[in-house]
Structure 1
Amino acid sequence: MTVKTKEKDLDYILDEMVDVVENSKDEIFHISEEARSEHEMLSRELEETRSQVIQYIESGDQLEQNVAYSRRRLSEVSKYFDRYSEDEIREVYETTHALQTKLAMVRQEEKRLRDKRDELERRLISLHQTIERAEGLANKISVILTYITDDFRQVNELLNEAKEKQEFSLKIIEAQEEERKRISREIHDGPAQMLANILLRSELVDRTFREGSTEEALQEIKSVRRMVRSSLYEVRRIIYDLRPMALDDLGLIPTIKKYVATTADYNNVKIDFQAIGEDKRLKQQYEIAFFRLVQEALQNAIKHANATLIQVKIEICSSNLTLVVKDNGQGFDPKIRRDKSFGIMGMRERVEMFDGEININSKIGSGTTIIVSVPYQNI
C-alpha cells in the first residue's frame, strides 16, 4: 500500500469521525431541546400545582374554623341536652361530622398536591442539570470537532511514516490470527465432532457386546473404523491445508487439479475441473486465497450438501479472477442464517480482503452455485 493510498484511507477515517461527531452534536442538541420543552411544561404544571396547594390550604384553614365552631356548638348541646329538641341535636351532630369529613378530604388532597409539587421541583432540578450537561457536552464536542478537522489532520504525515514501518509486521500478525481462527473452525467442524461421535459409538459397541449381540457389535466396530478413517483424513487434510507445498512449487492450477482429484477419489464424488484463460503464476496471496476458497466450497458441497456432482471453474484474465463452484446437492436458503456457519463466513472474509464479490445462489433441493469475482493486476 502506497503512502498516497494511506493518506486517502486516513482522510476517509477522519471524514467518518467528523460525521459521527457532528451527528452526536445534533443528537445532544436534540436532547437539550427536548429537555427544555419538558422543563417549560413542568414549570407551568408546577405553578398550577402551587396555586392549587394555596387554595386547599386556605380552604382547609376555613374548614378548621368551621369545625372548631361546630365542636363548641356540639359541646353546648351536649351540656344542655334538655334545652334542645331531638332534631336540633341531630343537626348539630351531623353538621359536625360532615365538616370533619370534608376537612380530612381537603387535608388529604392538600398533601397529595404538596407531594406532587415536591416531585415536580425535583424533576425540574434534574432537567436543569441535564440541560447544563448537554450544553457542556455540546461545547466540548465543538472543540473536538475543531481538533479533528484542523489539528488532527496535521498528524497525517507522521502517522504515514510510522505505518510504513509497522505495515509488514501487522500483516504477518493479521495473517497468523486469521489462520488460527480458520484452523480452530476446521477442527471444531471436523475432527472434534467426529471424535465425539466415535466416543459415543464406542460406548454403544461396549453396551451391544455386553448384551450379547456380537453381530451388531461387529457392525458398530466397522462403523467406528470408518469414522476413525474419516477423522484421520480430516486431520491430514487440515495439516495439508496449513501450507500445501505444491502451491509454492507448481502454482494455483496444478495444485487445485491435484486436490480435486484426491478429494473426488476419497469421497467417491465426481468433480469436474476446468481452467480458462492464462495459465500463469499469480501473486502468492491470491493463489493461497483461491486455493482456500476451492477447498472450503468443495468441503461444504460434500459434507453439508451431500452432492454427487461438483463443477469447479477458474478463469484467469488480465484484470480479473473468477471462481465458480456448482453442485447438485440438497441446497439451502441463503436468507436463513445458520448457527456456526463458519465456512461461508470465512469465504466472505477472504473475498472482501481483496475487494472482491461473492454471490451464493442456492435453493433447497436445487443445489448451490458460488461465484467469486476478484479484481487483479499482476504488477
Structure 2
Amino acid sequence: MSFNKTGDIALDHIINEMVDTVTNSKDEIFQIGEESRSEFEKLNKELTETKKQVLALIDDGDKLEQKVRFSRTRLSEVSKHFQKYSEEEIRKVYEQTHELQMDLSMKREKEKQLRERRDDLEIRLRNLEETIGRAEALSGKISVVLNYLTEDFKHVSDALEDAKEKQEFGLQIIEAQEEERRRLSREIHDGPAQMLANVMLRSDLVGRTYRERGIEEALEEVKSVRALVRSALYEVRRIIYDLRPMALDDLGLIPTLKKYLATIEDYNKNVRFSFTSFGKEKRLETKYEVALFRLVQEAVQNALKHAEPSEIKVKVEMKSNAATIIVKDDGKGFDTSKKKEKSFGLVGMRERVDMLDGELNIDSSIGEGTIVTIHLPIN
C-alpha cells in the first residue's frame, strides 16, 4: 500500500470521527433548543394566566376599596353620633369595616405577589428566547460544518487541487441556505403567525364588546381586527415576494420593480414612492435581473424599517454594458462612519454586488436621508 493511499485512509477515518462528533453535538444542541422551546411555551401560558389574574385582582381590589371607603364613612358617622346607635350597631359597623380592610389588604398583597411572579416570568421568557435563538444559530452553523464534512471532505484526496474553491463556494451556499431557512421561519413566526393569533384573540372580544359596550364600540373592534388581517395578508405577500417574484421570470426587471413598488406603496400609505427608468427596457441574464431586483428590494426595505421616510425614490438606468440603481429616501439617515451591529442587509447587498464585480456606495448623514447607489457591469 502506498503512502498516499495510507494517508487517504487515515484522513477519511479522522473525518468520519469528526462527523460523528459533530452529529452528536448537533443532536445535543437540538435537544437543548427543544427543551427550551417547551419550557418557553409552558411559561408563556403561565404568564398569560398570571396577567389575567392580576387584572382580575386589580378590578376586585378597586371594587373592595370603594366598599372600604363607604364603610369608613359609615363608621365615622356612627362614631360621631354614637348616642343614636346601640352598642351592637356600633360593633357591627366596626367589625364590617375591619373585615373589609383585611380583605383589601390580602388582595393587594396577593396582587403584589402575582405582579412579582409576572415580572419574573417575563425575565425568564426573555432569557429562554435568547437561548433558543443561540441554539438555532449554533445548530445552523453546525449544519454547515456537517454538510461540508460529509459532502465535500469525504474523499478530499480526490479534490485537493480545487479544495480552496470548493470550500469558499460550498460554505457560502450552505450557510446562505441555513440563514434563509432561519430567516423565513422567524418571519413567519414573528409576522403572520403572531398576527393571526392576535386576530383570534381580538375576534373573541367583538361579541363581548357588543354585549357590554354596544354596537359602535363593537364595530370599532371589528375595524381593528380587519386591520390586523390586512397586515397579516401584507406580510404573507411580502414573504412570497422575498422568496421569488414570479413576474421577474415572466415580465423582466422593470415591470417587476414597478409592480413591487406599487404593492409596497399600497401597504405603506404614509410613504410616497416614485420609480423612474432610463435607457432601453430589455431582458437581461437571470443572474443580473435577480441581483438588481434583490438590491432594490433590500434598499427599500432598509429605508422602511430604519429610516422612517416620507418619500422613497427609485431610479434605474440601463445601458448596453452596465446598469445603475439609485434608491433615495428623506428619512432620518445614519452615521456611515459607525459600524451598525447586525447590519445583515447591508452586508448582503455588498456581497451580492461584489460577486458581480460591481460597486456599492452609501451616502447618508443623520437627519439628511440616505442615497444608495449601485453600479453593475453587464457582460
TM-score by length of 1: 0.47
TM-score by length of 2: 0.47
Greater CA radius of gyration, 1 or 2? 1
